[in-house]
Structure 1
Amino acid sequence: MTKITLDIHKFPCLNDNYGYLVHEAWSGQTAAIDTPDADKYLAEADRMGWSISHILNTHWHPDHAGGNLKIKDATDCTIYGPAGEAGKIPGIDVQLSEGDRVELGRATAVVLDVPGHTLGHIAFHFAEQNTAFVGDSVFALGCGRVFEGTMEMMWDSLSKLKSLPPETQLYCAHEYTQANARFAETIDPDNTDLADYIRWIDDRRSRDLPTVPTRLDKELATNPFLRADDPALQSAMGHPGNTVDTFAEIRTRKDRF
């Protein structure tokens, strides 16, 4: 059987967001992953010759759902979003929770509940394509601020993402990587994988090139927020044997960084 592929078009929008259009060629269907800038999404879809059929919202923040209604008005697309935030998602048609499936032509995304940044945050995992759209739950060398949930909730969500296949490409919503790298090296200064990664990041950004997506296995080796279960890091953070407290310590330090 022929492997089902997706064409993913990435483009910058707003100050530091990434927009994503995901196209399944057999059906011609196209999903907008979040909607930070409706005009930019519509223009990019037109440039690609694609018509937006789906909006897949990860959470309610305006830089993720603010363009929903304008895009829906222009395309008559179907808006999918987290059930836990349905009252805050403009124009939502289909409410999603853990384990639900979204069909994009012949491709299928499975929904993961990943609360913490917001209480209803979800991610979309296209397992066959080794691709996950993770919104603001995890970033290259970072994770989202814990605005609405608890530190334990956020760690549980990151643990769920950590368990995806290591070759998974993580499509996060912002270009925060260089700033995250400056912080990560204060937490994990002896990590040679991190040092190599930072050199790569600095080279990319010096040429105004993106650092997203990132592979999960790279993040598992270098992202301090995903490594709060590492005994050496726990000791360095002053919380030996306590993963959640270690994660909370790292997150609190980043909030002050």
Structure 2
Amino acid sequence: MPLELFTIPCLADNYAYVLHNAATGKTALVDAPEVEPIASFLGHRGFELDDILVTHHHHDHIDGVDALRVKSNARVIGAEIDAHRLPALDLAVSDDDTFEVCGETCHVIFVPGHSSGHIAFHLPESGYLFSADSLMAFGCGRLFEGTPAEMWNSLKRLRALPPETVVCSGHEYTATNAKFALTIEPGHPAVKARADAVFAARERGEPTVPSILGDEVATNPYLRADDEALKSAIGMPLATDEEVFAEVRKRKDNF
């Protein structure tokens, strides 16, 4: 059975994620944008944190780490390459490292682009990917510190995971991402169908994350920079994959 997964809305549009092993009582948190909603959820459920996993150094992913650590004495896990700008780490990890969380093996994937030290966490047994601001629902994060080539390579690594993987990204940006995707391929039936579903979910006040990797592969323009149909749609049929990705990302930045 997969670990229980809970999505915790934080701040204006962030998400944190709680993992829980019902058999052992072990609990982990992925990212900590703020304390109150996470602490409230844990208290209501009677969960005590064993681990806090950190994807990258931006304040809206780490501001609650220290206070939650004090409450629970949880182990804090993050990227060794970014240890100088993360909360103090109890376990510093690098690309392809593995460690145990809630009784399962967690794989570390280095995904620079949004930030130079961004990592993702993959739990293949439960089928969860915590991608934060690298791969996002219908999108990807802005390139604050990385290059288009770095982000494209990062996204290709994530795209290669099993299509049923549950993608737990960091923000409720999906409706805006969907509107942008429609400007790239307004006639693409799968893109339009998914966009309509996203808009309907937001009208009902429902979250649009997590998402399913297979849906991202089929509709997310940033995962399809090597798709000949997308290249033609943006007028770059002879461009390299990296050039197409860079163009799509630039258009979104100006959207």
TM-score bracket relative to the smaller structure: over 0.9
- Residues 19-60 of structure 1: CA deviation (Å, up to 9, x unaligned): 211111232111111000122211111111110110000000
* Match of residue 71, structure 1, among 55, 68, 75: 68
Aligned residue pairs total 254
How far does residue 107 in structure 1 lie from its aligned partner after superposition? Answer: 1.2
* Match of residue 113, structure 1, among 110, 117, 141: 110
In structure 2, the residue matched to 1:85 is: 82
Contact 2:109 2:120 in 1 (8 A): yes
* Structure 2: gaps spanning 5 or more residues: none
Contact 1:26 1:105 in 2 (8 A): no
TM-score (norm 2): 0.97
How far does residue 102 in structure 1 lie from its aligned partner after superposition? Answer: 2.3
> Match for 2:69: what amino acid?
K
* Match of residue 7, structure 1, among 4, 8, 17: 4
> Match for 1:10: what amino acid?
T
Q: Which runs of 4+ in 1 moved over 4 A?
A: none
Q: CA RMSD in A?
A: 1.1
In structure 1, the residue matched to 2:240 is: 242
> Match for 1:242: what amino acid?
T
SS of the residue 1:180 aligns to: helix
- Residues 142-194 of structure 1: CA deviation (Å, up to 9, x unaligned): 00001101110000000000000011010001010001011000001121001
TM-score (norm 1): 0.96
- Establish whether residue 122 from structure 1 lines up as the match of residue 122 from structure 2: no
Task: Report % sequence identity.
Answer: 42
In structure 2, the residue matched to 1:159 is: 156
- Residues 193-235 of structure 1: CA deviation (Å, up to 9, x unaligned): 0111111111111110011111111111111111000012123
* Structure 1: gaps spanning 5 or more residues: none
Q: Which whole-Å CA distance do the structure 2 matches of 1:100 and 1:85 have between them? A: 15
> Match for 1:110: what amino acid?
H
Q: Which whole-Å CA distance do the structure 2 matches of 1:220 and 1:156 have between them? A: 15
Contact 2:15 2:172 in 1 (8 A): yes
In structure 1, the residue matched to 2:44 is: 47
How far does residue 241 in structure 1 lie from its aligned partner after superposition? Answer: 4.1
Select between 97-106 and 116-125 the one with higher mean Cα deviation: 97-106
